[in-house]
Amino acid sequence: MTLTAHWIHHLNTWQSSGMTQAAYCRQHRLNVKTFAARLHDFRNEHSTPAFIPAQIQEPPPATALLVLHTGHGSRLELPITVSAAWLAELLRCLA
């Protein structure tokens, strides 16, 4: 439902008045239930979405390599994007 200028004016005036909905409605001879319904409509029309779509970025291709050489002639090639925590755990296991 599109709100009329009449209701938008009342809702904005009420919000800045500091009055309760019931008191504002009594003073302006408005039906409290109708006022509450128009306030609900107003908030639905002017609310921002609760979720913002995420921009998912693909990781860069793993063309760059991290090469580890051991003293025993072994060689281990890992993508440069490997996590430091994972690499540290691997080195602890190999030690």
Residue spans per domain, the chain: 5-45, 65-94
Q: pTM of this prediction? A: 0.48
pLDDT category of residue 25 using cuts at 50, 70 and 90: very high
Predicted confidence (pLDDT) at residue 51 exceeds the cutoff of 90? no
Give the ranges where 1-95 is alpha helix by DSSP (H): 5-17, 21-28, 32-45, 84-94
Which residue would you say has higher pLDDT here, 12 or 81?
Answer: 12
**Mean pLDDT in residue range 58-85:** 83
Calculate what percentage of the chain has a pLDDT beyond 70: 94
8 A C-beta contact, residue 67 and residue 82: no
